[in-house]
Every structure is written in structure tokens, then in C-alpha cells.
A and B are shown apart, each in its own frame.
Chain A
Amino acid sequence: MSLASGLLRALDWVSLALFALAAAGLAALVAVTSVEVLLRYAFDAPTHWAADSVGYLLAAVVMLALPEVTRRQGHVAITFLSERSPWPRAQARSLALAAGLVCLGAAWIVSEEAARQLARGVLTQGAAPIPKVWITGTVVVGFAVSGLVFLRTALAPIKGG
């Protein structure tokens, strides 16, 4: 196995592992919200942490699932013009290249903010604060891994010549 194919396989595994975390986050979202409903309406004992936790879990669901959506080429795109392109492969590669660079750029920008939050020890606002860098870091990971997946699509060898 060459180094390149090993790296590509690792990228697949990272995307899948992040997606598994995102799906677990959605299951946790159901559990946390249901517990809150039960405690609030059945026992008149609302939690102080449920509302904040929902936001944190939602961030994990969206951003950690992003690389896998990218890997499956599942993003919403308006394709009625690109489908009629005389050079569909070249166009698809160019779009993936552009999307990859934009996502990596976004990851870099958000990582600067994450580094600032880490240095200053910024916490989220709310009744159950956590270090904000945990959320911002999730955004960085989502954009960065998606960017790499886009680049892989752009640079992948054409099967069958």
C-alpha cells in the first residue's frame, strides 16, 4: 500500500469516525430533549443544562457529519448547467478543487479564532458553560476534513483511464 493510498484510506476512516460521533450526537439530542420534557412537564423539575447541551450537540451533529456528506457528494448544488457542460469531468474537478480550498480557508480562519479563545480561556455563555474552543474546534475539524475530502475528489486519478 503506497503512502498516498494509505493517507486516502485514513481520510475515509476519519470521515466515518467523525460521522459516527455526529450520529451519536443526534441520539444524545433526542435523549437530552426528551429527558428535559419529562422532567419539566411531569415532575416540574427542569434542568439547567439541557438547553445549552442541545446547542453543543447540534454543533457536533452538523459539523462532524460534514466530511461524510462531502465524501458521499451529498451537498445541495444547482447542477442543471454543470450537467450540460461539454467537459463534465474537468468541471467537477475544478469545482471540487475550489470547494476544497474555500473549506480549508474557512477552517484556517475559524482556527485563528479558536486559538484566541483557547489562549483567553473563553467560555460559552449560558447556564452550563463549557470552553468555547470545544465548539469552535468542532467547526474547524468539520471544515478542514471536508476541505481535504474535496481536494481528494479534485485530485483523484480517473478510474479506467
Chain B
Amino acid sequence: MDWPLALAFFFAALFLLMLTGLPVFVAFLVVNLGGLLLLIGSRGFGLFANSVVDSVTTGAFAAVPLFILMGEILFRSGSVEVLFDSVDRLIGRLRGRLYLVVISLSTVFGALSGSAVAVAALLGRSALPSMTERGYSARHSAGVILAGASLAPIIPPSFLAIIVGSMAEVSIAGLLVAGIVPGLLLAALTVGWVGLSVLRDPSVAPPDRPASEAGAGSLLGALARMLPFLLIVLSVMGLIVLGIATPSESAATGVLGAIAVAAIYRRLSWAMLVEALTAATRVSAMILVIVAASRLFSQLLAFTGATRALVAWSTGLDLEPMVMLALMMLVPFVLCMFLDQVAFLLMAVPLYSPLVAALGFDPIWFWTLFLINLTLGSVTPPFGYTLFALAGAAPQLGVGQIFRASLPVILLFIAGMVVLALWPGLVTWLPASL
């Protein structure tokens, strides 16, 4: 089979199967088993069995359930509410305070859940009604939630970064740490947009009643209450940044830290721990079974010669590296409007990974941009997944209003990506110092 035909066949089959609504892992199973039969025959089935076993025993993936469990414990213990109150109190009497609270919280929620869809749904149900009720602009409120939620796959610990790192054979610790500066940059851009909007049109953020009438003593109290929570976040990232522990090890210590934080806040109970454990087990299985089912896909592409030929063809075009980068970013931007991020990631990494090496791109820089791009596609109308999560959680807004709210977010993220593409050091200096 010619490589362009093989490539088109495999991707079209996968894409169509997914669009039928078949579970993504089943779509990968069909294509991989069908591909094996077509290319090697039934004697190749042993390859499939071994690829699944290898995937589910890859130690690096252990960080995924461990980080999810850490987030579940912090969510379910109510520790996040303590943080919410403290941030709210610290920001104080500022006009547009709730915008800043939501951006801060979505950054934290994103770090804990790693899922833009989950954060958008959560804040759409909890924060959005309260904001619109107080007279905040619905469009700006939705925009801030979308922007904040979109930081989830970037702000560490991100399970997407762990999957990319493992599949593309890039330092997982490096990729996790690389998300910090871009995540903060995008959060700062969002704050800047909101600030300018409030300055231009004060009606988008009415004078707000303060969180409490308490004074400076209360501010210190707010800081003190945040301390255990911040210690856990900093200790997890600190252990990785300082190179003391691997991501899996720091995730395990993060779980113990989350239990300790819940105990400090007097929210620790067996029932909560069991709920967190079962929820984390379900979510982890849901994600990692897709990884396991898809692992053979890259080997099949390599077997057809498509991967090597595509690299040769792409590098033979002799395009400027920035043009190649733009083209390589255009594909996930478009396809992530339709496809789940994990599903697209698992399709793209086998093809992109050799291209990144052939083009001489810094892998940490490229994959960080790629992760931002995945999230950008999912907030882009008309099919962005995160948009529909927010629309489902906040039906009072209407899809049209949410679409309009997403436009400034898309522009902000594109601007952020251009900055990061032009100044790769913003992404690479922190991982380089590991």
C-alpha cells in the first residue's frame, strides 16, 4: 500500500469510527486490529497483545492516576472551598473582583483536574450564575471561564503532558515544568483583557460587595488558611523542578500531602477518601485504556512506511521552520474542534514526533505549543468541546452567547502562542534549569 493511501486510510477510518459515537478506545481497537489483519495477517495479533500489556505496565503512566487522585482528594475534602474564600478575601474590594477570582480558581482547578471540559462545567454551574446575578457581563464571565478552563492542559500537573512525554519520549518532568510560564502568561493575558474591558466599559463589572467586611487581620488569616494548600502544590512541583523526585513519585507524595491538607482543614474522612479513590480509578481507566488501545497505531504507521515518507516529504518541501510550525499547528487547531483532546493526541504524536526531530525543533517547546493548541481548538466554534460543556452547565446563556464569548479567548491564546513561538526561551528556560 502506498504511504499516502495508507495514511489517508488509517486516519479516515479512525476519524469516521469516532464520529459514529463509538467509544474512542474501541475505534482505536478496530483500526489497529483491522490494520494488523490487512498488513501482517492474523500472525501479527501477538503484537497487539504485547502493545496493550506494555502500555498498561508503563511506569511513567502511574503519574496519571496519582495526580488525578490528588486532585480528587483536594476537591472532595472541600479544601478547594477554603482556597476560594481565601482568594476572594485577598482580592478584596477591586472592581471586577469575581473575574480575578474565577481566573485564579480555574487555574487551580485546571491544575487539579487537567481537564478543560471539567473546569468549564464546574465553574459554569457554580461561579457563572453568581456572577450574572451580581450584574457581571455574561459574555465576559463566560469568556473568563473558558480562558481559565483552557489552562487545564497546560498548567502542571497535566495528564496530557504526561501522555505526550511518554509517547514522544520527551522528558515528562521537563514538559510538566515547561507549562508553568506559558500558563501564567495566558492567565496574565486574560487578566489584562478583563482589566481593559472594565476600563473601557465599567458596566461589565458592577461595583461589587466585598467578600467580607473584615480588615487586615482577616487578610493574614486568609493567607494562613491558604498556606497548607499552597505547600502541597509547591512541594509537588518543587520536587520535580529540583529533580529530587520523578513525576510519579512527586504525584504519590502529592496524594499524601493532599490527605494531610484535608486533615489540617478537618475535612478528612474515610467516606471522602473512598469516594476520591473510586472516582480517580474510574477517570484513570477511562483515559489510560485509550492510550493502551492506541499504542499499536504508531507501529502500524511506521510499518507502512508512512511515518518515514511523511518526514522525508515534509522536510523536502524546504519551507521556513516557522511556516512548518504554523502548518503543524493548524491541523490540531481544526481537528480539536471535532475530536476529543486525548484521542487527537494519540493520533498525532506518532506522526509529529519524527517530524519534530527532523525539523530540529526543541521537543519541549514544540509539545508545549501543541498542548496549548489542543485546548485552543476545544474552545473554537462551532464544535469546540469545552464550549458545549459550558453550554450544558449554563443553559441560560445560550450557545450563541458562549460562541461570542469564546472569540476574545481564541485571540488571546493565539497571541500567547505567537509570543511563545517567537521567544522559545519562555518555554524552555525553566525545564533547562532542571
Chain A residues with CB below 8 A from B388, complex form: 80
Chain A residues with CB below 8 A from B30, complex form: 102
Chain A residues with CB below 8 A from B61, complex form: 58
- A148 at the A/B interface (Cβ < 8 Å)? no
- Which of B16-24, B298-306, B412-420 forms part of the interface with chain A? B16-24
Shortest Cβ distance from residue B342 to the other chain A in the assembled complex, whole angstroms:
7
Q: Is the CB of B56 within 8 A of A63?
A: yes
For window 65-88 of chain B, which residues contact chain A by CB distance below 8 Å? Answer: 65-66, 69
Count of A-B contacts judged by CB separation below 8 Å: 181
Chain B residues with CB below 8 A from A37, complex form: 245, 249, 252-253
Chain A residues with CB below 8 A from B249, complex form: 33, 36-37
Chain A residues with CB below 8 A from B260, complex form: none
For window 92-127 of chain A, which residues contact chain B by CB distance below 8 Å? Answer: 92, 95, 98-99, 102-103, 105-106, 109-110, 112-114, 116, 124
Shortest Cβ distance from residue A61 to the other chain B in the assembled complex, whole angstroms:
6
Q: Is the CB of A136 within 8 A of B56?
A: no
Question: Which single member of B23, B33, B46 contacts A76 (CB below 8 Å)?
Answer: B23
Q: Could you give 7 example pairs across A and B, Cβ below 8 Å?
A: A19-B278, A26-B65, A29-B66, A54-B59, A65-B285, A66-B285, A112-B46
What does the 1/0 interface line of B240-262 toward A look like (CB < 8 Å)?
00001100110111011000000
Q: Is the CB of A58 within 8 A of B58?
A: yes
- B127 at the A/B interface (Cβ < 8 Å)? no
Chain A residues with CB below 8 A from B25, complex form: 75-76
For window 38-78 of chain A, which residues contact chain B by CB distance below 8 Å? Answer: 41, 51, 54-59, 61-63, 65-66, 68-69, 72, 74-78
What does the 1/0 interface line of B29-63 toward A look like (CB < 8 Å)?
11001000000000001101110110011110110
- B280 at the A/B interface (Cβ < 8 Å)? yes
A139 to B264, CA, bound (A): 40
The total of chain B residues at the interface (CB under 8 A) is 57
- A22 at the A/B interface (Cβ < 8 Å)? yes
A75 to B342, CA, bound (A): 12
What does the 1/0 interface line of A9-23 toward B look like (CB < 8 Å)?
000000000010011
B interface SS class = helix
- Which of B155-163, B287-295, B368-376, B401-409 forms part of the interface with chain A? B287-295
Q: Is the CB of A103 within 8 A of B26?
A: yes
A30 to B256, CA, bound (A): 8
Closest to B338 in A: A78
Shortest Cβ distance from residue B379 to the other chain A in the assembled complex, whole angstroms:
15
A161 to B282, CA, bound (A): 32
- B281 at the A/B interface (Cβ < 8 Å)? yes
Q: Is the CB of A105 within 8 A of B33?
A: yes
Q: Is the CB of A81 within 8 A of B288?
A: no
Chain B residues with CB below 8 A from A80, complex form: 338, 383, 388
- B353 at the A/B interface (Cβ < 8 Å)? no
Supposing A22-B281, A69-B286, A139-B53 touch, asked if A29 and B62 sit within 8 A by C-beta, the answer is yes
Closest to A38 in B: B253
Shortest Cβ distance from residue A103 to the other chain B in the assembled complex, whole angstroms:
7
- B340 at the A/B interface (Cβ < 8 Å)? yes
Supposing A19-B278, A74-B286, A99-B26 touch, asked if A55 and B57 sit within 8 A by C-beta, the answer is yes
